[in-house]
Amino acid sequence: MKKAYLEIRPLWTVLACGLATLLTPPMASAKPAPAIEVRVETTLPTAETNRPALALDGKQGTFFKSSRSADEHDQFTIYFSHGVKLKRIEVLTGDQQSTNQLAAGVLEVSTDGKEFKEVAKFEAGVSKAKLKSLPVMAVRIRPIKKDQTAQEPTGRGQFRRNRGSLVLREIVLDPAPVVAKVTQAMCVMVDTSEVPELDAWGLHAKALCEEWYPKLVALMPSEGFEPVLSTRLLFKKDKGGVADTSRGTDINIAGKYVIGHTNDFGMVIHELTHVVQAYPGPKDGFSKPGWLVEGIADNIRLFHFEPNVRRPRIDPDRAKYTDAYKTTAGFLDWVESHYDKELVKKFNAALRDGEFQDTLWQKYTGKTVDELWKEFTDSLRKSV
Ligand SMILES: [Zn+2]
């Protein structure tokens, strides 16, 4: 059933609102303009069910809302299936209380779907542009870095409470085209501006993410799970370590590390796995074991992305299954091949639902994790 779900709704064409969305009734003219299809690409993850299509449904009561705040690395772009002659575009942001507005940003249009030109700025959360009726192929909303000297509006408490989202209430197109459907496509954004010598590396990493994201989603399904359709690869000049994942979508990569390890694309897949995992934080009676989260990320990396690379050696006398990363990854692979081929899938689903318990080892294999670890390390000693 889970498989069917993925086959029916391939990641690249997830129907953002399900059914055809009419902006306005077609004009009663003799020859109505052909309906357009709209593809949305945004780096902003959706909060709850406030999908991008709701910013294009002609209703100001429904809106797109992001699950995190927007910054200058974000974008919300709509691509049309064919050129649309527009006289005017108006973008309304913020909710009814005027919170979650786009404080600083630009509205851009493209006549070829590639090059964008600024047509208006955002003021008080609203942007209005008059156009020359050129056929427009795409419209982009891009937050910009705020002037550091500009002060936030007063009412700090309210601002603070709401700063975790951007609300796009409506993108008003005039004349309103008939929209046949709105789909959302995967959006991988890469920023190497702090480490420009990694431009080419970053583009390769982006292509890898585009190729592997749907595969990772298929490897880690769970009931009712909707993956975020955006991720950002942010290369940092002064970051120590290797890489980490934050805010659900951001893969922060240490530029210095990549310069010294230019063939380590597996690291990107490990981090991308964290984006797909999307495990909840601690809540009543549940906290995810970090070693298992990292073990699953390395299990996916080593046994699916790098199946032909030599397996890392595990020292049976010193290692523990809680060592995380390659050790836990190797252990999981061994348990899968000896006891339950779906173990990682099952653990992933339980972690994502906030229901993982140690007792699941016994439930799926008939043995405790300690018994399994003993068998695994015994087998390693025999094979030396
Ligand atoms: Zn990790």
22-41 tens-digit pLDDT: 444 545 555 677 899 999 99
- For ligand 1, the distance from its centroid to the CA atom of residue 106, given in whole angstroms, is 35
Mean pLDDT of 219-224: 96
- For ligand 1, the distance from its centroid to the CA atom of residue 274, given in whole angstroms, is 7
Higher pLDDT pick, 220 / 150 = 220
- For ligand 1, the distance from its centroid to the CA atom of residue 297, given in whole angstroms, is 6
- For ligand 1, the distance from its centroid to the CA atom of residue 351, given in whole angstroms, is 15
| H/E element, 222 | none
63 part of a folded domain: yes
Q: Which domain covers residue 270, as residue numbers?
A: 188-276
- For ligand 1, the distance from its centroid to the CA atom of residue 9, given in whole angstroms, is 28
Mean pLDDT of 43-60: 93
Mean pLDDT of 51-78: 94
- For ligand 1, the distance from its centroid to the CA atom of residue 296, given in whole angstroms, is 9
Residue 176 and residue 238 in one domain: no
- For ligand 1, the distance from its centroid to the CA atom of residue 352, given in whole angstroms, is 16
Residue 293 and residue 367 in one domain: yes
- For ligand 1, the distance from its centroid to the CA atom of residue 328, given in whole angstroms, is 12
- Domain ends where: 276, 307, 323? 276
156 part of a folded domain: no
- Domain ends where: 243, 276, 309? 276
Q: For residue 202, which amino acid is it?
A: G
| H/E element, 156 | helix 156-162
| pLDDT computed for residue 231 by the predictor | 96
- Domain ends where: 276, 295, 324? 276
Residue 322 and residue 333 in one domain: yes
Task: Render pLDDT for 95-105 as a digit per residue (tens, 0 to 9).
Answer: 888 899 998 99
The three-state secondary structure class of 234 is strand
Task: Render pLDDT for 297-316 as a digit per residue (tens, 0 to 9).
Answer: 999 999 999 999 888 899 99
| pLDDT computed for residue 128 by the predictor | 97
Q: How confident is the model at residue 114 (pLDDT cuts 50, 70, 90)?
A: very high
- pLDDT of 4 over the 80 cut: no
- pLDDT of 189 over the 50 cut: yes
2 part of a folded domain: no
158 part of a folded domain: no
Residue 43 and residue 76 in one domain: yes
- The arrangement of strands across the sheet holding 88-93 comes to 64-65, 167-174, 88-93, 126-130
- For ligand 1, the distance from its centroid to the CA atom of residue 185, given in whole angstroms, is 26
- For ligand 1, the distance from its centroid to the CA atom of residue 268, given in whole angstroms, is 10
Residue 308 and residue 174 in one domain: no
Residue 57 maps to which CATH number? 2.60.120.260
- For ligand 1, the distance from its centroid to the CA atom of residue 259, given in whole angstroms, is 20
Residue 285 and residue 335 in one domain: yes
- For ligand 1, the distance from its centroid to the CA atom of residue 80, given in whole angstroms, is 37
- For ligand 1, the distance from its centroid to the CA atom of residue 353, given in whole angstroms, is 19
Q: How confident is the model at residue 384 (pLDDT cuts 50, 70, 90)?
A: low
- For ligand 1, the distance from its centroid to the CA atom of residue 243, given in whole angstroms, is 8
Residue 378 and residue 366 in one domain: yes
Mean pLDDT of 261-279: 97
Written as six digits, the tokens of 310 are 């030599």
Residue 192 and residue 269 in one domain: yes
| pLDDT computed for residue 134 by the predictor | 83
Higher pLDDT pick, 321 / 152 = 321
Residue 178 and residue 79 in one domain: yes
Mean pLDDT lowest for which of 14-28, 119-133, 237-251, 253-267?
14-28
- For ligand 1, the distance from its centroid to the CA atom of residue 270, given in whole angstroms, is 6
Contact between 279 and 352 under an 8 Å Cβ cutoff? The reply is yes
Contact between 279 and 228 under an 8 Å Cβ cutoff? The reply is no
- For ligand 1, the distance from its centroid to the CA atom of residue 251, given in whole angstroms, is 10
49 part of a folded domain: yes
Residue 17 and residue 40 in one domain: yes
pTM: 0.83
Residue 198 and residue 259 in one domain: yes
- For ligand 1, the distance from its centroid to the CA atom of residue 140, given in whole angstroms, is 33
Contact between 70 and 64 under an 8 Å Cβ cutoff? The reply is no
151 part of a folded domain: no
- 47 CB contacts (<8 Å, ≥6 apart)? 65, 66, 67, 165
- For ligand 1, the distance from its centroid to the CA atom of residue 293, given in whole angstroms, is 7
CA distance 272 to 270: 6
- pLDDT of 14 over the 50 cut: no
CA distance 372 to 340: 12
Mean pLDDT lowest for which of 125-139, 240-254, 273-287?
273-287
- For ligand 1, the distance from its centroid to the CA atom of residue 220, given in whole angstroms, is 16
252 part of a folded domain: yes
Residue 223 and residue 169 in one domain: no
Domain count, the chain: 3
- For ligand 1, the distance from its centroid to the CA atom of residue 288, given in whole angstroms, is 13
- For ligand 1, the distance from its centroid to the CA atom of residue 171, given in whole angstroms, is 38
Percentage of the chain beyond pLDDT 90 is 78
